[in-house]
Chains A and B, each alone.
Chain A
Amino acid sequence: MSNNWEMVIGLEVHAQLKTSSKLFSSSPNQFGSEPNENVNFIDSGMPGMLPVMNFGCIEMAIKTGYALNFKINKYSVFERKNYFYPDLPQGYQISQFEFPILSEGYINIDSGDNQKKIRIERAHLEQDAGKSIHDIDPKYSFIDLNRVGTPLLEIVSYPDLSSADEVINYMSSLRQLLMYIDVCDGNMQEGSLRADVNLSVRKKGQELGTRCEIKNLNSFKFIKQAIEYEFQRQINIIDGGGEIEQNTMLFDTSTGETRAMRSKEFSHDYRYFPDPDLLPVNLSQEQIDKIKPLVGELPQDKLNKYLDNYSLDKDIAKIIIAEKQNANLFEKMISESTVKPKFIAAWLVGDIFAFIKENNLEVNSLNDKTKDITDLLKLISDDVISNKAGKEILPKVLNGEGKPSELVKELGLEQVSDSGELEKIIDEALVGEEENILKFQGGSDRVLGYFVGKCLKATKGKGNPKLINKILLEKLKK
């Protein structure tokens, strides 16, 4: 059965670069505009229009080069990939072919308990195509060219991936890195990150089989479904005595199945050749070096820092570095407060993230509330209020209902840490408890818990439990 089979997967990931303008025109690179609003005559392929390269895209490619351990090529060439499609106004896509801007990179991903190195063959710049809308009219398609010319970085891995989980880990690591270096917004729903999955199967230890390419998957869920379906489909064909045909597949999100694209009379032949409207990109070492500092700290750097300098637990640190905005929020709070990073981290991944999730917020939306949050955490860690009171006040602080110190006063949640007052309350609580006092002195620890509870109740929960504990012990030992 499928136990003897293994899958061999390579990924082509298209990342939309978050530049202001397009790769070869100065129209806005923007999602969600009115149809054909972000289109100029270059984008719509009008006669005589010529491309001019956007250096912002080169900068982002170089940043990616550093983050993904690529060789950054000083010489790269834009070529035309020729094919006809109504989304493609020029009748060709400008891409890089023989000389990509980046080659031979890698990233390390989690695979089970280990790390696995995934080699990346190349990454190249190219233009995105427009969109055809098929569901407005049964007989017609409608063409919106807004997306035409949006810069894409296509990142092509070697076939080093061997399970759906690895593919997901690889994709999410890529997504994390691209978002860290601020070149892609990572929004898969809007198509900012899309994957073509090249999958073949083989019996363990045997040679590579024929691969099929599943096009344009834009969610982790679909990637997983498509891989699992395609894996089984190929095994079934071979087990049934058939042969795999090299095909381009589409994934049907409603059925979870893959199917071959309508077979063409002739196979594709893109007739790549250097775009004569554009001259080769020649970068100097200085231009490349200048971009290095813009890369900033990568997730692995942050992880090491959090473990070594802030003594965070690994699990908590990983949650924080998962997205750059989390890390930014965390580091902002650290820099603004004297509260221990570890204490802040625990609250961040606990109640604060829970609040964000519950209210469907962006992590970034808390950036202007960090001072209030750390003020609150300071009150908690200084025992001015109890943990419980902190949990009660946090949502109000996050909702901007008031300053933590005011809220504490308003709600009367200030902890009683006045030992004289507490002593009085404890003395009262011990009246008539001679039997239990004797039990304690006879060695029963359980009684201590009973007394602490009784005292806390008497303070209406506001007594500082640590202090109560301390005073009680002194009194009981007498």
Chain B
Amino acid sequence: MSDIDIKRISYLAKLKLPSEKEEFYSNSLKDIIKWVDNLKKVDTSKTEPLHNVTEKTVSIRNDEVSKSNSVDDVLSNAPERAQNFFKVPKVVE
């Protein structure tokens, strides 16, 4: 097992761990990853990954429109809205 870069992982997960908690999570993750490492022993060279126990879908939609939800219902939980938009601080590219 390689070292866990907790800063990078929390960056990917959009979390800002308080510095005093970084070590806590980092150690906890290390323990868990070590614990699940036993999977490496299993020979899966002839095994396909299983995405889902159900392997055949019956839900395929025809290309038809059904009425979308109302703008007010879509926005009713918005922390901030402006007219019919969601509002956020400016996005800088």
Direct contact of A and B (CB under 8 A): yes
Measured CB to CB, the residues of A under 8 A from B are 19-21, 25-29, 34-41, 43-44, 52-57, 59, 77, 82, 84, 86, 132-134, 136-145, 250, 261-262, 265-266, 269, 271, 274, 276, 278-280, 282
Chain B residues closer than 8 Å to A38, beta-carbon distance? 68
Tell me the complex Cα distance, A240–B64, Å: 57
- B83 located at the interface, meaning its Cβ lies under 8 Å from any Cβ of chain A in the complex: yes
Contacting pair A282 B86 (CB below 8 A): no
Contacting pair A55 B63 (CB below 8 A): yes
Contacting pair B61 A279 (CB below 8 A): no
Chain A residues closer than 8 Å to B63, beta-carbon distance? 19-21, 54-57, 59
Q: Mark B47-63, 1 if CB is under 8 A from A, else 0.
A: 00101101111011111
Contacting pair B66 A84 (CB below 8 A): no
Contacting pair A26 B55 (CB below 8 A): no
Which of B14, B52, B83, B87 meets A279, CB within 8 Å? Answer: B52
Contacting pair B85 A144 (CB below 8 A): yes
Measured CB to CB, the residues of B under 8 A from A are 8, 11-12, 14, 49, 51-52, 54-57, 59-66, 68-69, 71, 73-75, 82-93
CB of B24, distance to nearest CB on chain A (Å): 21
Chain B residues closer than 8 Å to A21, beta-carbon distance? 61, 63-66
CB of B92, distance to nearest CB on chain A (Å): 7
Identify 21 residue pairs between A and B in the complex whose beta-carbon atoms are under 8 Å apart, listed by A's number: A26-B61, A26-B66, A26-B68, A27-B68, A35-B71, A36-B84, A36-B86, A38-B68, A39-B74, A53-B61, A55-B60, A86-B91, A132-B88, A136-B82, A138-B90, A141-B87, A142-B87, A143-B86, A143-B88, A271-B12, A280-B51
Contacting pair A269 B64 (CB below 8 A): no
Contacting pair A142 B59 (CB below 8 A): no
Tell me the complex Cα distance, A136–B92, Å: 14
Known A-B contacts A20-B65, A276-B51, A280-B55; the reply to A250 vs B84 at CB < 8 A is no
The 9 closest A-B pairs by CB, nearest first: A56-B63, A142-B85, A27-B68, A279-B57, A143-B86, A40-B68, A26-B66, A35-B84, A274-B51
Tell me the complex Cα distance, A59–B49, Å: 27
Chain B residues closer than 8 Å to A37, beta-carbon distance? 68, 71, 84
Which residue on B lies nearest to A53, using beta carbons? B60
Chain A residues closer than 8 Å to B90, beta-carbon distance? 134, 137-141
Known A-B contacts A20-B64, A86-B91, A140-B82; the reply to A279 vs B54 at CB < 8 A is yes
Tell me the complex Cα distance, A261–B71, Å: 33
Contacting pair B92 A266 (CB below 8 A): no
Known A-B contacts A26-B64, A132-B91, A141-B90; the reply to A35 vs B85 at CB < 8 A is yes
Which residue on A lies nearest to B72, using beta carbons? A36
CB of A34, distance to nearest CB on chain B (Å): 7
Which residue on B lies nearest to A25, using beta carbons? B68
Contacting pair B83 A250 (CB below 8 A): no
CB of A90, distance to nearest CB on chain B (Å): 13
Contacting pair B71 A39 (CB below 8 A): yes
Tell me the complex Cα distance, A68–B26, Å: 49
Which of B12, B49, B65, B69 meets A41, CB within 8 Å? Answer: B69
Tell me the complex Cα distance, A53–B62, Å: 9
